[in-house]
Amino acid sequence: MDKLNMSRHISGKFNDELEAVRNQVLNMGGLVEQQLRDSLRAIETSDHDLAEQILQRDAAINKLEMQIDESCVQIIAKRQPAASDLRLIIAIFKTISDLERMGDEVERIGRVALESFSNDQQDFLVSLENLGQQVLAMLQKVLDAFARMDLDAAVEVHQMDALADRQYEALTRQLMTYMMEDPRGIPKVMNVLWSARSLERIGDRCQNIAEYIIFFVKGKDVRHVSSDALRQALTGQQ
């Protein structure tokens, strides 16, 4: 918590409130991470029971978003935060919105595990799992970056999204080719395609959270800035 400079507040209660809401965000992120990890394992092992559990657990993520939202509203009303405190609250608001949407995407991914796939369809499941592992790595790293408000880690996550995008595009081409060669498999393959799209969106939302971290640390809005230009945009900015 040193990097958040919370010790500067005269009110120890304000410090406690800020740390409590930050911990709530990390708890929510941990739930989303576990959901994504379980969905990939359910697909890999064709575990229908685990897939059903994933679908049922999304409500806990939604509940946490509402609790954190209310906590932030109360802090704003009572403390009227300014400067970096206000940037932190804004970053939290935006982060929990992205985490909640990630939870929705994971729910769609988990539905793939409820399908049964033939041996000749296993290749694109492997490709889906590879994309999932890349996105999971992004989520783990951006949550760690949020916990420490680590600028360098946030920039690294921002740049990791390009690899996820390339993997998604390659998988999309693979799935399109399969559907043209065997139209009978289109319904199942479309489920995989939508799951791949959900993974790609989770990667985008990890990139969003990285941008919120940069906004908090540097006070600089880097939305719509390419990863190639990001470091140059941050150079010399305080």
Q: Are 69 and 29 in contact (CB under 8 A)?
A: no
What's the angle, vertex CA 106, arms to CA 103 and CA 107, rounded to 5?
A: 90
pLDDT at 1: 43
Q: Residue 175 burial by CB count (10 A; 0-12/13-18/19+): exposed, middle or buried?
A: buried
Structural domain containing residue 112: 2-234
Q: What are phi and psi of 68, to 5 degrees?
A: -65, -40
The answer to whether the CB of 135 falls within 8 A of the CB of 202 is: yes
Residues in the chain predicted with pLDDT less than 50, given as ranges, are 1-3, 6-7, 10, 237-238
pLDDT tens, position by position, 35-61: 999 999 999 898 999 999 998 899 999
Per-residue pLDDT, 117: 80
What is the CATH classification number for the domain harbouring 177?
1.20.58.220
Q: What one-letter code names the amino acid at 4?
A: L
C-beta atoms surrounding 48 within 10 Å: 13
